[in-house]
Amino acid sequence: KALDTEYTFDISVEKLGDGMAYIHFESPVSTLDRLAITPADIGVYHLVDEVWVKLAVTYEVKDGMVCYEAETDSFSPFKLVIEEGAATQKEEENVPTVPPTEEPDVPDEPEILPPIDEPTKPADEPETPAPILAVLAGLGAAFIVRRK
């Protein structure tokens, strides 16, 4: 079956720039079944300096369609061919899953905390001289009242 059926087409792109580009095309699975070929039997060739160069082709089957992708670094004539085992099925991408983080328990109402105990001063030290002055003033007044 190598290169016995082919379809040639030209793709031209202005200002491609550096890097790689991808050619995407698709075919109904029913069409491939009617031709008695598998999705892996479609190849892509690219004309480079008058030589047909085989491109790496991957495919995946979605909803009754075979979606193909070929990578190229330039554009010019391309050829789709029926060639046994020319394409490789895409591997399923395993996207790493991040385990959910535990949410802290947040109460609906704020928690009422007991007041913070402040350090107390020793009992033998008065906080201010005011109580002592009041006692002295009271004694002085009593002394004056008694003398009269």
Neighbours of 139 (CB within 10 A): 10
Question: Is there a domain that residue 103 lies in?
Answer: no
Question: Is there a domain that residue 138 lies in?
Answer: no
Question: Is there a domain that residue 48 lies in?
Answer: yes
Length of the chain: 148
Question: Is there a domain that residue 100 lies in?
Answer: no
Predicted confidence band of residue 77 (pLDDT cuts 50, 70, 90): confident
Compute the distance between CA of residue 67 and CA of residue 45 in angstroms, rounded to an integer. 17
Question: Is there a domain that residue 61 lies in?
Answer: yes
Q: Which of 42-46, 113-117, 124-128, 140-144 has the lowest mean pLDDT?
A: 140-144
Question: Is there a domain that residue 14 lies in?
Answer: yes
Residue 130 has pLDDT above 80, yes or no: no
Residue 30 has pLDDT above 80, yes or no: yes
Question: Is there a domain that residue 50 lies in?
Answer: yes
The mean pLDDT value for 106-131 works out to 66
Question: Is there a domain that residue 33 lies in?
Answer: yes
3 and 84 in contact (C-beta within 8 Å)? no
Residue 23 has pLDDT above 90, yes or no: no
Please give the model's pTM, rounded to 2 decimal places: 0.54
Q: Into how many domains does the chain fold?
A: 1
The boundaries of the domain holding residue 78 are 6-89
Per residue in 115-125, pLDDT tens? 777 666 665 66
Neighbours of 96 (CB within 10 A): 4
DSSP, residue by residue, 38-102: -GGGEEEEEEETTEEEEEPEEEEEETTEEEEEEEESS-SEEEEEE-TT-EEEPPPP-PPPPPPPP
The mean pLDDT value for 31-47 works out to 89
Going by C-alpha positions, the residue among 78, 12, 70 that lies closest to residue 45 is 78
